[in-house]
Amino acid sequence: MIDSKMMLTIRNLASACKKEENQFFRNWQAGGIGNLLSKWRVHLLFGLILLPCIILGYVWQVYKGSWLDWRISMTCADSGGDALLLSANSSGGDALLLSANRNKTNPLDDLEEIELPRMIYTKPQVFQLPRSDVLTMTPWFAPIVWEGTYNLEILNEQFRQRNVTVGLTVFAIKKYVVFLRKFIETAEIYFMVGHRVNYYVFTDRPQDVPNITLKEGRQIVSLQVQNYPRWQEISMRRMEMINHFSQERFIYEVDYLVCVDVDMRFSDQVGVEILSELFGTLHPGFYAAPRNRFTYERRAVSQAYIPYDEGDFYYAGGFFGGTVPEVYKLTKKCHKAIMADKEKKLEAIWQEESHLNKYFVYHKPTKILSPEYLWDNNIGSPAFLKKKRFLAVPKNHAAIRNKRSLAVR
């Protein structure tokens, strides 16, 4: 089919040839050549010239993209240079695409079909809820993770197919370095079993990071950071440090980040069931509290301010995470808000936890972890709590935040 643009081109070419024919014929008449060639022979001559032009024009219109693609691609492939591709877009114009991947094959060509093992498990029942005593889904369709609401074997196979690496960040500043050994030793038993893990230890004392034998595919990475006189300042600076290293390092090394407190110990399985684009954890002190009891920042002058009629849950600052890009966005927003408050000589009531809660009000997490994932035995053992996966280590807060000695039990 000849499109409208091609027809216009042919008409313009025919009109130009007609003008040239008449001019040529007049010149011949004036020069006495007209006696030698009659006018119909002149028409025949110009017809023989015009017909090949029309045919060549049509062939060029139809095949020029494919021909150029083949010629340029072959030339670049032979020379080992970058592929310069010229192709026609839908509007008839040309798009010039430069491939920056020198001598690289399409990454899709490397994908392999993974053979999964035979899996035997209880069939899910449409009319049988896994848990009826707790909320398992938010109004925005984010699951709340409780024991009995998932099958870890299925999830492990899914994440193994993706070959993920998880980064676990902790801050061991000043005396808090004393918690590292218990933290990492219990993590090796319970955290992301069977998956690759990078332990990112933010510390001002890298020489005090314990030397622990780890399982295959797991490593400790010490990141030296500045110390601050006040523990509140250290707490607020966590967002800044996680944000900085997310951009400079984490984005190249891991798929997910899990950001937790170091003065804790793992006591049960914490696996890939927690992973999602963006997740937070219900605070063990407020999981059943009404909205007006939440200890949100209530001063309107603060960037962390949340009105009394807003908010879904109260999230703990000691356990959150997600993909590296989402954690980067969260920590960047929180850090900017913290710095804006600092310029006004303000400090949110619960430092970075207050800003985290403000972020989650307007950027809903895609998964929420139940208090199983952050618990303190001093609160007790309610019947709904089937597991205690991540427990606070008993400690003397005054001792750990000052210069007195401390022993970890």
The 3-state DSSP composition of the chain as helix, strand, coil percent (nearest 5) reads: 45, 15, 40
| Mean of pLDDT values over 361-371 | 98
- Is there a catalytic annotation at residue 353? yes
Residues 231-285: tens digit of each pLDDT: 667 777 899 999 999 999 999 999 999 999 999 999 999 999 999 999 999 999 9
Q: Which of 257, 286, 284 is nearest to 389 (CA)?
A: 284
Residues 51-102: tens digit of each pLDDT: 776 777 666 665 554 544 444 344 444 444 444 333 444 444 444 444 445 5
Round the average pLDDT of the chain to a whole number and report it: 82
Q: Which of 125, 149, 169, 152 is nearest to 264 (CA)?
A: 169
Residue 406 has a pLDDT of 40
- The two three-digit tokens of residue 4, written as one number: 């409208």
Q: Which of 147, 188, 240, 353 is catalytic?
A: 353
| pTM value surpassing 0.75 | no
Q: What SS3 state is found at 98?
A: strand
Residues 269-328: tens digit of each pLDDT: 999 999 999 999 999 999 999 999 999 999 999 999 999 999 999 999 999 999 999 999
- The two three-digit tokens of residue 44, written as one number: 């025949």
Residue 409 has a pLDDT of 38
Residues 117-166: tens digit of each pLDDT: 777 888 888 988 989 999 999 999 999 999 999 999 999 999 998 999 99
Residue 56 has a pLDDT of 73
DSSP string, 179-244: GHHHHHHHHHHHBSTTSEEEEEEEES-GGGS------TTEEEEEEE----SSHHHHHHHHHHHHHH
